[in-house]
Amino acid sequence: MTRAVLLTLVGFVAAIVQGVLLHFGWPDTFLPQLVVIAVIYMGFNEIGILNSLIVFLWGLLVDLSSALLLGPWAGALVTVYGCLVLLSSRLFIDSPIVAAFISFFVTVFANGMYLLLGYEYSSIDWDDMNRIGGQALATAVVAPIFLSMVARKLRKRGSPGLGRSLAASATS
């Protein structure tokens, strides 16, 4: 249970830091999606129903901080988490380069899901695409650092490294 509380705090801190950067005048286009990076960590390292509830709560927190709609980010993050759980047995994020590529594509996917869930029938313009691309690049730059830091702090006892790749190869 304490692990679930720690994981919940990681997402809350990520959402708070992301919101603080926005309020300090950081351009929205170059704002890294720290909550999406936390979801990437959860999708590759923490699989379970309780963890999907935690991701949903992170999404609700992002929705509440955006003050627009209640639910689109929660739905987008849970969808991303589910897709990452399905892919986590095939992909490994041990390398910082792979973590950056995965975070880039996951950020684009999460923002696309948000646009589909939040704007419904509104048109999507070039500014939205520019913002998504900038956020994906910023997230890809920050993701390897954030993922290694979170993995180091939350490493399970008996687990030799980041992700399930080392644990799976040790048993094979």
Residue 126 has pLDDT above 80, yes or no: no
What is the distance of C-alpha 44 from the center of its chain? 11
Task: Render pLDDT for 7-52 as a digit per residue (tens, 0 to 9).
Answer: 888 888 888 887 777 777 777 788 888 889 889 988 888 888 888 9
**pLDDT band per the 50, 70, 90 thresholds, residue 69:** low
Residue 158 has pLDDT above 50, yes or no: no
Coil, helix or strand at residue 99: helix
- For the CA atoms of the chain, what is the radius of gyration? 16
- State residue 124's pLDDT score: 72
Domains and CATH numbers, the chain: 2-164 (1.10.1760)
- State residue 120's pLDDT score: 67
Tokens encoding 118? 């939040």
Share of the chain above pLDDT 90, in %: 16
